[in-house]
Amino acid sequence: MIRRPPRSTPLYSSAASDVYKRQHKDGHNELARLLVEKEVIFAEDVERIFGKRPWTSRSEEIMALEATAKPVEVTEDFEEKNSSDSEEKEKEKKEA
């Protein structure tokens, strides 16, 4: 009987992962040592070990969008239209 790898596993994955493991062996060892030592690590720790990401993280994208977003101005007219007092005044105007 010939054993074959599962269909979901690409044939090149083991070769690619071996190359990746060899390239980052020291970083993985440092990360493992830090996890055993501290049990909890932060993004700054990972960045110190492996370097800054070559792409922007999603949280950084969101913070950048929020920083550049224009604040919405709330006018007195808006507040009056949306308050319960204005609803009572509208009813009084209609009845009069």
Is there a contact between 24 and 50 (Cβ–Cβ < 8 Å)? yes
Nearest residue to 45 via CA among 55, 24, 31, 59:
31
Tens of each residue's pLDDT in the chain, 96 residues: 677 666 655 555 677 777 877 888 899 899 999 999 998 999 899 999 988 888 888 888 888 888 887 777 766 665 555 555 556 666 676 776
pTM of the complete model: 0.43
DSSP 52: S
Q: At what angle do helices 25-38 and 13-23 cross, to 10 degrees?
A: 70
For the record, the structure tokens of 1 come out as 């009987």
